[in-house]
Amino acid sequence: MQEYQRKQLLERIGRDGATVGAELPNAIEIQGETLDLKQFVFEIKRRDTVPPGERERVETAKRNLRRERVERVELIENNEVSYEEGVDQVDAIVGIDRALNALDQLEPVDLEAEAKRQAAADKKRWTKFLKKALGHEDDNSRNRR
């Protein structure tokens, strides 16, 4: 895979609206096991909240989905897949993100923690933008450190 293709795939994953219009995968292989992701999310989403008996199952699924997402992103970052495989990985990652968003919305939101998380993300984006705009960060500067 060419470097510009790898960057395009990673940019698509990081895009704010990446999950808009994306479909949940019917099934996804996570840690060697197939999860009927679409059915699982719709089954849990039908309820307004997660019942106590299902909470551990949902939390386990979310942890596994996050772990799988990281592993798939690393495949692209480390250039371990072809471009075509990378496109498939990106589609799966966006589907995982969509599923995580749906599952995260079921839980009561801690507004203070969410505000802190958003502020930290805003600060990080702003700092990255300024470094790039001022020419303090480029592709080679990371390799020199």
Average pLDDT, the chain: 81
Judge if 83 and 17 occupy the same domain: yes
SS3 42: helix
Judge if 138 and 118 occupy the same domain: yes
- In the chain, the number of structural domains is 2
pLDDT tens track for 114-133: 678 888 888 988 998 888 88
Provide the pLDDT for residue 76. Answer: 92
Judge if 43 and 9 occupy the same domain: yes
* Contact of 3 with 86, CB cutoff 8 Å: no
Judge if 52 and 95 occupy the same domain: yes
Q: What domain range includes position 61?
A: 3-108
Decide if pLDDT at 138 tops 60: no
**Mean pLDDT (whole number) for 13-31:** 78
SS3 103: helix
